[in-house]
Amino acid sequence: MTAVLEDVHFQRSLDPAGMIDRINEVPQQIRDAWEIVNGFELPVEFAPPDQFDEILVLGMGGSAIGADLAAGLVSPMAGVPVWTHRGYGLPAWVDQDTLVIASSYSGGTEETLSGWAEAQARGAHCLALTTGG
């Protein structure tokens, strides 16, 4: 059985999309992201987190997974609850005392844009993280 597990061609036949490689790359991606975040500064109009009652991150798919990871890392230090929202619209509690962060790789995710529009309509503080769109 060991010979089969060590057979690279056999492994590739079971994983044509290369997910094993993607999983193996996650630790380096986290290190790279940490370096980027350490050099990131919020725009002047964003005050420290204690200005907000809650922080809500909007996202779908991988963007939401990243939000879950970030929420887990920063929640203990943030001093306010950090939530992730997947889907259309917003939770009822979002208001002008909420920081809403929209995370979308493409910048065009329908559900995230729906929440973004509603957050702006409610007067929430809004920040977008995207590569395009």
As annotated, the residues of the chain forming the CATH 3.40.50.10490 domain(s) are 44-130
How far lies 120's CA from each of 8, 9, 11, 78, 113, in Å? Answer: 51, 51, 48, 22, 11
Q: Is 101 helix (H, G, I), strand (E, B) or coil?
A: strand
Dig out the tokens for 127 from the structure: 């920040």
Q: What is the pLDDT of residues 28-74, one digit of tens each?
A: 988 898 888 787 776 656 656 568 899 999 999 888 888 888 888 87
pTM: 0.69
Tell me: pLDDT of 116 over 80.
yes
Helices (H), the chain: 2-6, 8-14, 19-38, 61-78, 110-121
Secondary structure class of 113 (helix, strand, coil): helix
Q: Is the pLDDT of residue 133 over 60?
A: no
Pairing type for strands 82-85 and 125-130 reads unpaired
Q: Over the chain, what is the mean pLDDT? A: 86
Superfamily of domain 44-130: Glucose-6-phosphate isomerase like protein; domain 1 (3.40.50.10490)
Percent of the chain predicted with pLDDT > 70: 89
Distances 38 to 19, 35, 42, 73 between C-alpha atoms, Å? 28, 5, 11, 13
Share of the chain above pLDDT 90, in %: 38
3 pLDDT above the threshold of 70: no
User: What's the mean pLDDT in 106-130?
Assistant: 93
d(CA 60, CA 32): 22
